[in-house]
Chains A and B, each alone.
Chain A
Amino acid sequence: MILGALDVDYMSESCQDAIKTGNHYQSLDLGDSTTQGFRTARADFLDRVDFHDKKVLDLGSNLGEMSRGARARGARLVDGFEYDPYFVELADLVNVHNGVTRVSFYRRDITDPSIYGERYDIVLVLSVFIYARRVVDRLAEITDVLVLETHKLHGNLQETYLDPITRYFPRYTILGETEWGTIHDPSETRAVLVFAKTEELLRSTLVEVPARNADAPTHAGTGRHETFSTDIDIRRTQPNEPFFERFPAPTGADVLAAVAEHELDLDALLEGPDAGRRYRSWTYWFLMLRGYLEYRERGTVDPGNAYLRYLRRWFGPDGPDPSFARVLLDEEAAVTAVTRRFRDLAHYEGSDATSASDYAPASIRLILSDPPRRNPPSLYTSSGELLQPRQLDGWHRLFAARLFGVERVPAEVVRADARAGELLAVLEHVSYDGARVELTGWCLSSDGALTQAQLTADGRWVANVELQRRDDVAARFPHLPQAGLCGFHFEGETWSERGTRIDFAVTAMHDWLPAGRIEMTYPTATMGDRRRPPTALARRLTGHDDPTAVAARATRSTAVMLARLGEHLDLESAGRVLEWGVDTGLLQPALSVELEGAAITGVGFDREAVDWARRELPGDFVLAGRAAALDLPAERFEAVIGCSALSHLRPDEQRPWLEELHRLTRAGGYLVLSVGGELIRRFLPAERSSRLERDGIVEWSESSAAGRQLTGRTVQSREYTVSLCKERFEVVEYLEGIVHDAEDLVLLKKP
């Protein structure tokens, strides 16, 4: 019945200005069927807010997705206000259907100040601030904390949101950005912020995001979202180039004079073809300066101010930013907003006669995420770092600073990066002919559903794709709902600047924030000719059909493992190196290139693989039986590299082999090994997972193709591995999930 009601083609009109909202705005989860709304779920941000035992009000509750989300995260009581009675009806029904308790929906006009009577611990204002703007003072009487999602941002974060809200809720933090919808331009982003009356309340409202590898010293960053302050170097950044190309005067005063003298028909300019390009046009900035000159002369912003006229013409209700359009409709708010921009100009000009001398423009704000958006602005910090934000708030301050020769302006930066070791992934096919790249595979995040993926080559953007259904993967992970939508297939064109190799990275995203990254190194031309194992052999050993895909990831994994080793050993003069498990990780082709000076001895478990290596590869190769005894002298090797070898052993074989490796390694030598560990563990079915919990180690199901493609036969906890290795070695480092996007890395030293 609910799904039937959603099938009705329905547009709701808002109580103010008849802004339309369809009935697919939010996503619905009805037990076993999920409808995808226009908005994708914002669960990530709700996770950042501590709802435990809180009384919550959700303004503009729509179908109640966010209200139920707050309740699911421990809220004591949730009320949702929604203007449209149809949505209220449906939201109530969804509650009954899903057995949701203590969430109530009310038909209310949220612009009406008289409806706000009861107190709440948290008020959610998600994309409805244009309605709630007039009642901020009332909200301040009933709550101390607001969680706010903006509308699309166009450099108006300060005046549309921060200025009016911080009057009542002075402390705030930016949680990050959301996408506006999957079918619209994904670069149209919105920010999510938490406002509170005191710093203490703000802190207690936010949930600390635990760092995944808190005790691993080399894993940078704490959590996904990191905030820092910096300075933007204006001379290097050169913002608003089209304007300054047209008005190339040496000083700000000269530019102002040129603008003042410009004989132009303002009305024609206002309607001209350039004007509609808004910030990218020179006209925008020209008219802002004309408006500024009028303001400087009269000390006020008149209704006929040239800049105000421009804004009204190009930022109206049909413009890109409905919330700023609302500001402009309100005479007083519009003048305040424009005056603030002029005061920023006056501040940087140093002629701020109209205001108190202690006035200072706010910091500009950047939201960075890796990968960046398609055509990001480029800004340089005063220490020379390039920042390419997905979202920038402060174009006007940057412009003013450049105009008046200010060298640097303060900036607050929110960083939301993807990194390797977060996703469980299999790369099934890679091809690259020096121009055209094709890449196929799948990836899973333990944090939930992924929505899209982006391919970069040597850091350059190549393509974006929506993730596709993979029923075969879903069948392998029947216990993971997100396994249904996990496949990616990229086709694109790119080039390699380095000639010998190209680094591809696939970044998977949920809620438009990066969830994790799959990295691979593809050997171009010269490296591509090098000998690879026959396809049939590779397929038998790895479960993969495409030896190129195996090699691309093996090359990357080798580089990762050698990089860890290189922190402790001089790889240039490495001497003797043991590769333990030539056939488990298929490392050899890459290893012999990376360690050109070293004498490599390879140990394999598979006769055919060892025969092939002896024929085709430089170095000595030894066939090992299952017994942990090699016919090699003791203390022979400076380093041991073992990719997936531990995970190919049975649980009871690991200790004898570690003892044998101990015998073969020189005192002070290092071992870098990969092991089925904490990343894979997050994806195990409940039964295996609880056995792992109990025993520390578990064997992947006997015939699992998924298991073979990802790792060997065993998965073990970090604690188990560390305590096993500690019997003989010093454990130097443990990193999760960074080998083959599946196995953990452990670096050992023989004392």
Chain B
Amino acid sequence: MSTDALSAVRRVDPEREPVAAADAGPWPTVRDDLRTLIRAAARAERSTVDAATVDWLLDHETPPDAALADRIACLERLRLDGASVLEVGSVLGELSRTARTLGAVVIDGVQLEPALVRLAGLINAYRHVSRVSFHRGLDDLDARCERYDIAIVSVAVTVQETIRAVELADRAVVLELTGAIEPSVLCGALAPGFPSTANLGEVSGRGEPSVMLALARDEETLLELVSGASHERGAPPLEQEVEHP
């Protein structure tokens, strides 16, 4: 996926006017302190977080991480207006924030590592992103009996967590699959209630590229969810319904 596509990414929260530095006017601001704080926190977590990625997240410039750029591009094929979204394995939260720019009204990102939850929250604060929250693990959401229209599950999430996430979704699931197992077989096993499948695109990585799939309750939901203009954008055509047990 080219970085040209990324430059077209609409990175403005539709409900939030960013308060630009020039607009600070008579108001004090902690923006510079916050930036320093986020970068220091990122350095402290350098085993899991790439400093260049954090800078990009703060400034919305060209992403240094090709895989993340690809995932964003895949996600942008979805129409999320009014949807509630769960993202499991949200890391620094950029896919959740992307879901917000695509019109989702509630986005809960889930990440087990507390330092990442906090860092992702700080980036939200810096970028003035609304309606996107990050949670430590799924337990709290389970306890509140939350339901979501769409669950997005990262490639790094365990099978058990994936199945728990799928159980919380009502309309569709977005999965990233890699490895030798036939995607349709995997989908049938992981998300048996979501038979209609569309390929959102490939995600490049260090090894074998993975593929992002949207799985919906039925064909109609799938068509509502996935932009029909996929051919024009050079993405693979919609796949046929897969068989599942």
Interfacial residues, chain A to chain B (CB-CB below 8 A): 1, 5, 8, 10, 12-13, 76-77, 79, 84-86, 88-90, 92-93, 95-96, 99-107
Contact = CB atoms under 8 A, between A and B. Distances in A.
Contacts of A93: 30, 34, 122, 125
B51 to A, nearest CB: 20
Nearest to A104: B130
A48 B16 CA distance: 31
B175 to A, nearest CB: 24
Given A1-B30, A85-B27, A89-B31, A101 B130 contact: no
Given A1-B34, A96-B121, 15 more contacts: A1-B37, A5-B33, A13-B26, A76-B106, A79-B131, A85-B23, A85-B29, A88-B19, A88-B128, A93-B122, A99-B118, A102-B106, A103-B133, A106-B130, A107-B16
Nearest to B136: A99
A1 B33 contact: yes
Interface in B192-229: none
Contacts of B118: 96, 99
Given A102-B133, A106-B15, A106-B130, A90 B30 contact: yes
Nearest to B28: A86
Contacts of B148: none
5 contacts: A10-B28, A89-B19, A89-B30, A89-B125, A106-B130
Main secondary structure of the interface of B (DSSP, over half): mixed
Interface in B85-132: 105-106, 108, 117-118, 121-122, 124-125, 128, 130-131
Given A89-B30, A96-B118, A106 B16 contact: yes
B125 A92 contact: yes
Nearest to A105: B130
B181 interface: no
Contacts of A100: 133
B17 interface: yes
Interface string B120-156: 0110110010110111100000000000000000000
B108 A102 contact: yes
A89 B117 contact: no
Given A1-B33, A8-B28, A85-B27, A92 B133 contact: no
Interface residues of B, number: 31
B125 A5 contact: no
Secondary structure at the A interface, as helix, strand, loop or mixed, is: mixed
Contacts of B135: 101
Contacts of A86: 27-30
Contact of A77 (B19, B26, B31, B106): B106
B55 to A, nearest CB: 19
Q: Which 3 A-B pairs have the closest CB atoms?
A: A101-B133, A104-B130, A96-B121
Nearest to A117: B15
A83 B22 CA distance: 17
Interface in B57-103: none
Contacts of B27: 12, 84-86
A118 to B, nearest CB: 8
A193 B130 CA distance: 29
A69 to B, nearest CB: 17
Contacts of A12: 27
B121 A95 contact: yes
A86 B117 CA distance: 23
B117 A99 contact: yes
Contacts of B124: 92, 96
Nearest to A77: B106
Q: Identify the interface centre among B24, B31, B105, B130: most chain A CB within 10 Å of its CB.
A: B130
A107 B30 CA distance: 15
B106 A89 contact: no
A228 to B, nearest CB: 38
B35 to A, nearest CB: 12
A380 to B, nearest CB: 52
A92 B30 CA distance: 11
A236 B159 CA distance: 79
Contacts of A96: 118, 121-122, 124-125
Contacts of A13: 26
Nearest to B134: A101
Nearest to B17: A107
Contacts of B117: 99
